[in-house]
Chain A
Amino acid sequence: MTRRPVDTGDPDRLYTVTGGRSRADDSFDLVALVVSECEPTAGMQSEHLRILELCRHPTAVVEVAAELRLPITVVRILLSDLLAMGRITVRHPQMAQSAASLPHSALLKEVLRGLHNL
């Protein structure tokens, strides 16, 4: 897979992208699905613009990170900004907070059906 290490290897760039903040918002699970609630407009920060473009259809946080070639932490910060401005909504996974507890059998049954249909 092609990588551009320059994006992540350069702390200055990350600093610029996130406005100097470093606290990641863990409420964005890797597989939370992000949906744009508005069109990108001129003058927006380019990363915000790209996220709004990507998320016209539901897009997982991890896919946003891969497409933008930015670390997860940085993407979580960008998404927090957009969420605070009401420009995206987030469809949270049911499982996110229950690390050690077992998922409901009904959910697993649906997963099994989907896999069998592959």
Chain B
Amino acid sequence: MGSTISELPSRRTPLADAADTGLKIVIVGGFGVGKTTLVRSVSEIRPLNTEELMTQAGVGVDETTAVAAKTTTTVAFDFGRISLNERMVLYLFGAPGQERFWFLWDRLFSGTLGAVVLVDTRRMNDSWYAIDRLEHHKTPFVVAVNRFDDAAGHSLDEIRQALALPDHVPLIDCDARVRSSGKDVLITLVDYLYTQAMAQETTP
């Protein structure tokens, strides 16, 4: 018993006792594009890591045998959090863009406010799939270009064309290592969501 309790990490920063509304935003992107860096730069806690089970077949957790099945694999993701006020807390999830992850999307990210697609211009193809999947799941998103130092200087217009992004989807530059830049990305997303919500609420 005693040893169980002493294993509890003491560095946790608890939420306010009045906290009652959890919200989520997902950061999607290919390997090494800067997802964890972005989460870290805006999070009030050190990013934490967790995982979900899925079967090798790739269709989520098999109802009858899942937990004990030898074929169960895991999909890991990390997250951070931002206390917006006494009641509202926003969780940011860094989600790998690879194919098998999308089988878990509904289990994990239904009800998400929206998503940020993080793009590395050196590996633009990685973003195609994420954008396609988000459209499929009807998740609103913005695209943020994480500029790495050695990347060629494509303009945002060129990138918009290369990604075949519709005009209404916000596309911005960011430096995932810089807090104010990460904050701007989130504000861009929520501004976009707000505009959409207003438009929907005012058209009967």
Contact = CB atoms under 8 A, between A and B. Distances in A.
A71 B82 contact: no
Contact of B108 (A59, A72, A103, A104): A72
Contact of A114 (B53, B64, B85, B194): B85
B61 interface: yes
A112 B194 contact: yes
Interface stretch (B42-50, B143-151, B159-167, B169-177): B42-50
Contact of B68 (A11, A69, A96, A109): A11
Interface string A17-30: 01011111010011
B68 A114 contact: no
Nearest to B7: A50
Interface in A6-48: 8-9, 11-12, 14-15, 18, 20-24, 26, 29-33, 42, 46
Interface in A37-78: 42, 46, 49-50, 53-54, 56-60, 62-63, 65-67, 69, 71-74
Interface residues of B, number: 73
Nearest to A65: B50
A31 B91 contact: yes
B21 A94 contact: yes
Contacts of B4: 46, 49-50
Given A50-B4, A118-B42, A118-B82, A66 B193 contact: no
A65 B49 CA distance: 9
Contacts of A22: 61-68
Contact of B49 (A3, A11, A12, A98): A3
A96 B8 contact: no
A53 B8 contact: yes
A17 B14 CA distance: 25
A105 B197 contact: yes
Which 3 residue pairs of A and B lie closest in terms of their CB atoms, listed nearest first?
A114-B84, A31-B22, A57-B14
Interface of A: 1, 3, 8-9, 11-12, 14-15, 18, 20-24, 26, 29-33, 42, 46, 49-50, 53-54, 56-60, 62-63, 65-67, 69, 71-74, 91, 93-100, 102-105, 108-118
6 contacts: A18-B67, A22-B68, A71-B53, A93-B22, A93-B23, A115-B90
